[in-house]
Amino acid sequence: MTQQHPVHKAPFAVEWREGFCIGIDQLDREHRHLFSLVMMLNLGTVEQTVEQLLDYVVTHFSNEQEAMEKSGYPAFEAHLKQHEEFASQIADFLMGSDGWTEERVQDLRRFLNKWLIGHIMTHDMRFGKWLATKNRPAPDAAAGSGRTGLVGRLFG
Ligand SMILES: [Fe+2]
């Protein structure tokens, strides 16, 4: 009797969705591109794609960090640590073995998708929301000198 090989698990492939948007156009475009690079990972071209991914991650992280620093984002340092932690996790993964197999490519893709989704939906989203609130004009300024303006003049 021939033994059946286990059926390959379906690749863990995540498409970009609108729900991943953090409301900052450039960063959303970059996140989207990261997803497409992760999607491209396959055994035949894994080394080139990993190379591209690492380059793009560096570019993206530095753009994102610059946006945070320039805007005076209070959680910048903590966010920087998240990026550093990612870099060390990916370095550990890549140094963990010298050969690529279908399974290892899937592991990498799974790790990247999970990390990206978790990070974007929690930490990058927090920055997007913070920036949107910061850039919103204060209600006072738009309303002119109403009651708030008077209170402000009396007690400000
Ligand atoms: Fe980030």
Q: What is the pLDDT of residue 154?
A: 54
Hey, what are 16's tokens?
């970009």
Q: What is the pLDDT of residue 9?
A: 56
Q: pLDDT (tens digit, 9 = 90+) per residue, 82-120?
A: 999 999 999 999 998 879 999 999 999 999 999 999 999
Between the CA of 61 and the centroid of ligand 1 the distance, in Å, is 6
Backbone angles phi, psi at 130, to 5 degrees: -60, -45
Give residue 156 CA to ligand 1 midpoint distance, Å: 38
Distance 17 CA to ligand 1 centre (A): 17
CATH class as words, domain 22-155: mainly alpha
Among candidates 33, 25, 32, 104, which has minimal Cα distance to 67?
25
- Could you write out the DSSP letters of every residue in 83-147? HHHHHHHHHHHHHS-S---HHHHHHHHHHHHHHHHHHIIIIIHHHHHHHHHHHSPPHHHHH-SSH
- Distance between Cα 124 and ligand 1 center (Å): 5
How close is the Cα of 151 to the center of ligand 1, in Å?
A: 41
pLDDT at position 138 is: 73
pLDDT confidence of residue 153: 54
**127 alpha carbon – ligand 1 mean position (Å):** 9
C-alpha dihedral over 122, 126, 132, 138, to 10 degrees?
140
Could you give phi then psi for residue 5, rounded to 5 degrees? Answer: -75, 145
| pTM of the shown model | 0.81
b/e 123-152 (16+ beta carbons within 10 angstroms → b): bbbebbebbeeeeeeeeeeeeeeeeeeeee
Q: Write out residues in the chain with pLDDT < 70, as ranges.
A: 1-12, 140-156
CA of 10 to the centre of ligand 1 (A): 28
